[in-house]
A and B are shown apart, each in its own frame.
Chain A
Amino acid sequence: MENNTVLKIIDLHKNFKNFKAVDGLNLEVKKGEIFGFLGPNGAGKSTTIRIILSLLKSDSGKIFFFGEELTPNSRALFSRVGALVEKPDFYLYLSAYKNLEYFSELYGRKFSKSKLLEILEIVGLKGREFDKVKAYSLGMKQRLGLAQALIHDPELIILDEPTNGLDPQGMREVRNLLIDLAENHGKTIFLSSHILKEVEGMATSMAIINKGKTIVQGNVSDLLHESQTKIFIETISSADKLNIQDTSFYKISKIQDNRIELYATKKDIPKIIDDLRSKEIDIYSINSVNSLEEYFIKLTGDGHVS
């Protein structure tokens, strides 16, 4: 195993009676990556995350954190991991501060008041830190969930839908915070999200799973560049009068008015421009939109993700 491998899963299996929730899943997450973990509903994402965090027992398979195999005797590894699994639930009868103090002390040390308040400020709960959590909105609980995952300065942060319930401003703040943690603090982030645009904008690597198996894993830009994505081209003159045929590097999907839709890989965009220019077509704009979504649907066969 490479030294910079933070999380490795080998041939993981988990059945619920006759249902194979995880069926020989393999994954590898490297240090400093923002790793997107995607899959349609029921693909086994939450089950996998729960097994990684030892909330569920696997039927077979191995999990390695920082090169060390996870066993019942290696609980100390979790001092290097921060996690937020599914919806953020807390002790409603305690304040956010008391909740954070409680969860932080489970790491076996007492954190200073200033440290606790600092992390609550970072996640945007300043001014509400002493309110009981029962008065919190989902978005505020989500922020507190992030705070409890970050309080002990973990090397690996596992987050399941971290922007769920947040307003657009909050989503952006969390995204920026995660990017900052990865880029400037060397943290590794394992991110499960149903917002493909979010993963596309943040993740450096990703895995798509379906029916408990890894379908594809790799660098996000490599995967998207190698895959056929939908490209929209706006031309200055009406395009439907032009004689444009499929080529070896693009396939026409639709031509209407001054708009061309075609399938190609991102890396072939310069060639497409050259080809269209050679046909004296003036290009106004060119975009590849929802490329991850297209890629995801192509691989999994439906657009429903959770």
Chain B
Amino acid sequence: MFLRLVKLELFKIFSKWRTYIGFIAIGILVPIIHFAMLAEGQTLIEVSTRVLRNTFDFEGELINGYMVTRIIMQFLFINIPLLITLVGGDMLAGEATSGTYRLVLVRPISRLQLISAKYIAGAIYVILMVIWLYILALGLGILIFGTGDMIVVRYAINIIPASDVLWRYEIAFLYAIMSMLVVYTISFFFSSFVENSIGPIITTMAILIVLNILNLIDIGSFAVIQEFFFTTHMNAWILLFEKEVNYDILLRSTYILLGHVVVLTGATFIYFNKKDISS
């Protein structure tokens, strides 16, 4: 019965137009970035490595599929969560808006079953969205630019051999799934309180925007506060592209993100189970 519920929830998600907004947005944005890099990438790389060229000799093609994918991930990691809230914020509130709880919850399924199925179906949507990004960004990137050693300029220049890159992306995209699940869980949580999906969508977006802005404030003492923002830990995937990956920090951020998922999902389940359906 539970699998049938998940399947039915997926059917509803993919019957809605708003579900495809995220997929379409990624489907348009990623190729645009690819073609922009194809046209202007070389100039961009020359500008960003101008100072270094005085000291080092750069030989061969610096732009490749791996490098472009990392740039795309950096661009889209801030924006994809906004697309995910469109579905997450609608999961519970949308049902209240349409008045269909009155039909769904008078059937032989428990609220726990319903909300679990909804959560899992939404999580599947999030996973599919990140997989779509993975396929387009990395697949199309490799197809257009090919592969090669990956240069990462952050605090230092890291040159990661081509043979050492792919596993980093695999983990980075798994980490991206978890990060997006946190955003989805937050919008799902807010969605349980109200009867209109606009509220949870805007609230989650506002939280993301505010925390992302606060993350940009680069003042020493502010770093202590930034540690408490989930958005700070969402960015920990960058560590995977250091020459030596700091697994301690990565794992800590992973646990913090997982903690958000567990606590918020639990709170949503408890609240929804006691909630009076008045819509």
Contacts and interface: CB of A to CB of B under 8 A. Distances in A.
Interface of A: 50, 53-57, 72, 75-79, 81, 83-87, 89-94, 98, 102-103, 105-108, 148
Given A91-B98, A92-B98, A102-B11, A55 B110 contact: no
25 contacts: A50-B277, A50-B278, A55-B101, A55-B102, A55-B105, A55-B278, A57-B274, A76-B108, A77-B108, A79-B107, A85-B102, A86-B102, A87-B99, A89-B98, A89-B100, A89-B102, A91-B15, A93-B15, A93-B17, A102-B12, A105-B8, A106-B104, A107-B108, A108-B4, A108-B108
A279 to B, nearest CB: 58
Contacts of B278: 50, 55-56
B109 interface: yes
Contacts of B154: none
Interface of B: 1, 4-5, 8, 11-12, 15-17, 98-110, 274, 276-278
A108 B117 CA distance: 14
A102 B15 CA distance: 12
A56 B105 CA distance: 11
A157 to B, nearest CB: 11
A91 B12 contact: yes
Given A85-B102, A107-B108, 12 more contacts: A50-B277, A56-B278, A78-B108, A85-B103, A86-B102, A89-B100, A89-B102, A93-B15, A102-B8, A103-B103, A106-B8, A108-B1
Nearest to A76: B108
A295 to B, nearest CB: 31
Q: Is the interface of A mostly helix, strand, loop or mixed?
A: loop
B276 A106 contact: no
Contacts of B98: 89-92
B12 A89 contact: no
Nearest to A104: B107
A56 B277 contact: yes
Nearest to B113: A75
A288 B8 CA distance: 53
Given A56-B276, A91-B100, A105-B8, A85 B15 contact: no
A53 B105 contact: yes
A54 B103 CA distance: 11
B108 A94 contact: no
A75 B109 contact: yes
A75 B104 contact: no
Nearest to B107: A106
B98 to A, nearest CB: 6
Contacts of A86: 102
Nearest to B7: A105
Given A102-B8, A108-B1, A89 B99 contact: yes
A55 B277 contact: yes
Contacts of A55: 101-102, 105-106, 276-278
Nearest to A51: B276
B244 to A, nearest CB: 51
Contacts of A84: 103
Contacts of A78: 106-108
